Structure 1
């Protein structure tokens, strides 16, 4: 009986303990329920606060845009009606308003507000420093603009410095502050600022995988002319973001600049084309970038690889098919420049005319006039030669000169078949050689490309196009032998004038003999240019 009584007593204690535990659980559940209600209420308050803050930010920048039209992007032909001093004062006023708003909100969420202010300043800079497709500005106006914007940048930096330390205690907040300072100092197009580099470097030190900061640092270093270190910055970005179109485009332009300065440009130009192709694969509107890469390859190779010109033209033409690019005057100009080198004269002149009608400030009209002036010179010289030939003036004179010259075919190995220009077919004329006398150098507005008027033994005049030569290497009266010449028949009408002549060129300088001697000695090693 005693054992039973003891067990009953133990059971009673167990029941009491369980009851107490259940009461505790109930109390805990009530506390948790209260906490959840408080948490829900807190979340609703934060959400309301964020909405109010977002609305407040939008109100501030709506006011900025409405009160200062100069912060909005201008079209190339838009007239700026206000004096620049007033515009500068308006921008300063807007910066002060943002500063006041931040103080009133105790600098809560300062990052999006300052970021939007940065965007406004960048738009303002774009207006003050138009791209090549927009209106040109004088050097004096350029210096005035730089001075004006530097003053506004200093005001923005003062605003950032006013942010209390407790609002940027976290590493990412401190990095953001350095990044924004760097962006402000880097805002002026094509102008390097040492402070921009300093702050952007600090931003990447504080946050080593911040791709936007590396991208901006690369842009800053490129302005400085430190292209190799700029390329390293872009490499970091592309390592983690291989499809970043903006960085791919900037990497393309950078490789192009490195190629121009390099003693061995070919590998850099190949990289340039590679990145331009990747950019185009991501965005069909980037055909202009690929076209410029091919065109630059042609120029840097001294005109040795005309296939790059054809690829450039194809890329430009494909880009023009995009509806939004049909009115892009600069793209049309690029097409026309390539057509000029390919001697597609009608397409060249039509393109310049179309571009000039799209944008009178694009420089297309000047390019058109330069091209027409060159064609008029060709036609005038050829017509004068024909008139002399018809009157019997030139033949005796030419024969007298040729008596003092060598055969022109001496030393040509393997043997070539001699031909006059009238026997050439359009395109390549392999195993043929044309011997002619230089009548004159045709003056032209651009360097790097030389035109000569030549006359063969049958008094047939033609134009010789030469790349990568100096004026003194071929002179008036010299006898020139052209091996494997490539001939172009030019015959078209433009604005009531008829142009008709033959243009001849060669692929390599080794295919040109001057007075029986090679223009350039053959290189021991074949060229690396494809």
Structure 2
């Protein structure tokens, strides 16, 4: 019996390996493959004689494996839940069965019951897989909740606890990366330290060979690089995700980013008549800046944060693109040099075309890269806080601060 149970366990592991690493162009082909391999696993399981699974522990393992096999598909399975429920009743100390039962119940949308299963699974002892699933569940539970930030903080805490159990486990690092990325969104999409933490976690995840076939890892890492304006890395990441899973919308993300950088590059290289620029920027020299700040133009800035520096500019265009955040503007300084203003965490009513802006402590980026034999040189200043900007000589009112309105668009 032990030999047959081991074979059934191995067949179940193979089944889930297919689910997690096999991404054909035709989704139906994957479904058919899973159906075939699930039947193979069930046949092995059913070959165990009835008299050899009479003990409660033996019966619990049998019910657990049968439920896990039936739960391999995306859709909720009542039969899978019934078998997994029998398993935990027969052997309440079977942590893996509690974990699988939680995953099964999650599919029918009962999140509190799912959390209860994961909590019961953890009560059997520390487990990195259960902690990672709990972290993932908490990110899901944060959607639409009044205390989003508190729930996501718990998600980060549990992801870190999983890493503490195995610092080399790529899936745990991947979950931490997702939790930090979620925190970036729910807190208003301006705190770039959360993006840096997320990026570091994803990079640690990539060191694990077992994560090489996870397309979501590359996709989410590319998303982080997008918001960090590491456009070349983002494009490479989206392409890597598309190669692993053609059904992922990573190819669309590449197209969207190429459209964006082409638009930014075209505007920066565009020919605006010198007389018009001179007219638009003529009043900029008269703008007063705070005494504690030194006035500068875009060509005086160093790459990165420029403390105690103020740049005065005229907003020429609001640059429309396909993502919700960030906001992009084409701005011209008093030397008639154009640059891109990238705005995070603010509503699009805060800054308008024709406004005169004073940018305090500007974070400058001269982004030079090539893609598909085309070279880009994108000069930009990033703004994260309302306090960094004055519009027409006045601070931006707090009502223009954006908190979590974009979270619904990104659910890592």
Structure 1 residue 377: Cα displacement:
0.8
Structure 1 residue 319: Cα displacement:
3.2
1:227 corresponding residue in structure 2: 111
Structure 1 residue 504: Cα displacement:
0.9
2:201 corresponding residue in structure 1: 315
**1:337-486 matches, cutoff 5 A:** 337-353=223-239, 363-384=249-270, 387-390=271-274, 392-396=275-279, 398-399=280-281, 416-486=293-363
> Which whole-Å CA distance do the structure 2 matches of 1:184 and 1:359 have between them?
23
> Which whole-Å CA distance do the structure 2 matches of 1:308 and 1:174 have between them?
46
The answer to whether the aligner puts 1:187 opposite 2:187 as a matched pair is no
State the secondary structure of the residue aligned to 2:101.
Answer: helix
TM-score normalised according to structure 2 size: 0.76
Residues 132, 428 of structure 1: alpha-carbon distance in 2 compared, 3 angstrom cutoff: farther
The answer to whether the aligner puts 1:215 opposite 2:91 as a matched pair is no
Residues 132, 258 of structure 1: alpha-carbon distance in 2 compared, 3 angstrom cutoff: farther
**1:229-268 matches, cutoff 5 A:** 229-242=113-126, 244-268=127-151
1:272 corresponding residue in structure 2: 155
2:405 corresponding residue in structure 1: none
Structure 1 residue 253: Cα displacement:
1.5
Q: Is the 8 A contact 2:344 2:385 kept in 1?
A: no
Structure 1 residue 247: Cα displacement:
1.3
Q: Which structure ranks higher in relative contact order (CA pairs < 8 Å, sequence separation ≥ 6)?
A: 2
> Which whole-Å CA distance do the structure 1 matches of 2:261 and 2:98 have between them?
49
TM-score normalised according to structure 1 size: 0.61
Residues 439, 363 of structure 1: alpha-carbon distance in 2 compared, 3 angstrom cutoff: same
Q: Is the 8 A contact 1:288 1:331 kept in 2?
A: yes
Gaps of 5+ in 2: 401-412
> Which whole-Å CA distance do the structure 1 matches of 2:393 and 2:249 have between them?
43
Deviations 1:459-513 (A, max 9, x none): 2211111223333443322333322221112233334333223211123233333
The answer to whether the aligner puts 1:134 opposite 2:23 as a matched pair is yes
Root-mean-square deviation over aligned CA pairs: 4.4
Structure 1 residue 124: Cα displacement:
6.3
2:365 corresponding residue in structure 1: 488
1:498 corresponding residue in structure 2: 375
> Which whole-Å CA distance do the structure 2 matches of 1:520 and 1:134 have between them?
48
The answer to whether the aligner puts 1:301 opposite 2:187 as a matched pair is yes
Task: Determine which structure has more spread, i.e. the larger CA radius of gyration.
Answer: 1
Residues 519, 195 of structure 1: alpha-carbon distance in 2 compared, 3 angstrom cutoff: farther
> Which whole-Å CA distance do the structure 1 matches of 2:242 and 2:91 have between them?
48
Q: Is the 8 A contact 1:134 1:362 kept in 2?
A: no
Q: Tell me which moved more, 192-201 or 338-347.
A: 192-201
